[in-house]
Amino acid sequence: MTIRQLAVITGGSSGIGLELARQFGRNGHDLVIGGRDPSKLEGAAGLLRRETGRDVTAVPADLTKPEGVERFHDAVVRLGRPVDVFCANAGVGVGGGDFSQTDLDAELALIDLNVRSQVHLTKLIVRDMVKRGEGRILFTASISGLMPGPFETVYSASKMFIRSFAEALRNELAPKGIVVTALLPGPTETNFFHRAGMEGTPVGDGPKDDPAEVARQGYEALMADKHHVIAASLKTKLQGAATNLMSDPMLAQVHRGMSEPKPARDGQAVSSVGAVALMGAGLALVALLASSAANRSGRRGDYYRT
């Protein structure tokens, strides 16, 4: 009798998290999905059961609170099955203004979810993986984690933390049989920009990647034991590669051009010609150098891996 593996996915009721659940379900995993809204989460679980034919357990939990993390983990433990895959996907964004204007409570809640809960839940799950000498962890970071993020200051910093956290854990845990991969999506067609208050920004109103394709690339990177993947479109991959060719001040200006809200007084977008020109120049240079850069050893070349 073949025992099916179990994949645990936080933020699994919609967006990239739901698509990750689809990927693992279609590839033979039973699923545990977490989310804050019980009705939305159960709806996603029912959809996944119908589509994949797998066992799907919905565990509502507010991961912004330590007791919510503990309750979620306790529910997983009560299933009596080892966690073979953990997708640390839950996260939120806060934008819509500069740091002096944005809501402090929302930003502290963002830190609680994007940073503190990831450390807390990963600590609980990874201990059992280490005891068994096997397991896989996929962290959903962001291409924003490769650059300073004006008008998303706290969000971008949180994703920089997750990217660094994932890379360090990968190094620590590889000798113990644990695979750790970071998924770095670009702008993706989810409800993220609405919830983050970023409608009316160039990035919020611009073209976005398909979450199903982002999830597919994340799944394949994890199963192939890659340390990270920039997903999903060629444009996003080139933007990620271009971050290695620019200074932090240049990257901050590029990000500002994408995330700064339109002025309320006239509804016109802030001019971002300089930022667009910088990114355009970087993309052009990447396109010319991609073949040779992909073969370089070390950190710079690694960012061309998919």
Query: Could you say which of 155, 219, 303, 304 is catalytic?
Result: 155
pTM: 0.84
151 in a domain, yes or no?
A: yes
Q: In the chain, where do the E strands start and end?
A: 6-9, 30-35, 56-60, 85-88, 135-140, 178-185, 228-231
What's the CATH number where 203 sits?
Answer: 3.40.50.720
Respond yes or no: is residue 155 known to be catalytic. yes
Q: Rounded to whole angstroms, how far apart are CA atoms 90 and 85?
A: 15
How far is the CA of 253 from the CAs of 153, 198, 247, 268, 282, in angstroms?
A: 13, 17, 10, 19, 13
Q: What is the pLDDT along the chain (306 residues), one digit of tens a residue?
A: 457 899 999 999 999 999 999 999 999 999 999 999 999 999 999 999 999 999 999 999 999 999 999 999 999 999 999 999 999 999 999 887 899 999 999 999 999 999 999 999 999 999 999 999 999 999 999 999 999 999 999 999 999 999 999 999 999 999 999 999 999 998 888 776 667 666 677 766 777 789 999 999 999 999 999 999 999 789 889 888 988 899 999 999 988 988 888 764 344 443 344 444 444 444 444 444 444 444 443 433 333 333
The first and second tokens of residue 41, run together, are: 């989460």
The parent domain of residue 130 ranges over: 91-233
Res 201: pLDDT: 74
pLDDT at 73: 98
Query: What confidence score (pLDDT) does residue 266 get?
Result: 42
The contacts of residue 118 (CB under 8 Å, 6+ apart) are 88, 90, 139, 162, 165
CA 217 – CA 188 distance, rounded (Å): 13
Query: Which tokens belong to 154?
Result: 């706290």
- Whether residue 283 lies inside any domain: the answer is no
CA distance 36 to 62: 5
pLDDT value at residue 199: 67
Is 111 strand, coil or helix?
Answer: helix
* 164: Cβ contacts below 8 Å, ≥ 6 apart: none
For residue 239, the model assigns a pLDDT of 86
CA 161/CA 169 separation, integer angstroms:
12
Is residue 193 assigned to a domain? yes
Q: Within a domain: residue 137?
A: yes
| Distance in angstroms (rounded) separating the CA atoms of residues 89 and 183 | 9
Q: How many structural domains is the chain composed of?
A: 1
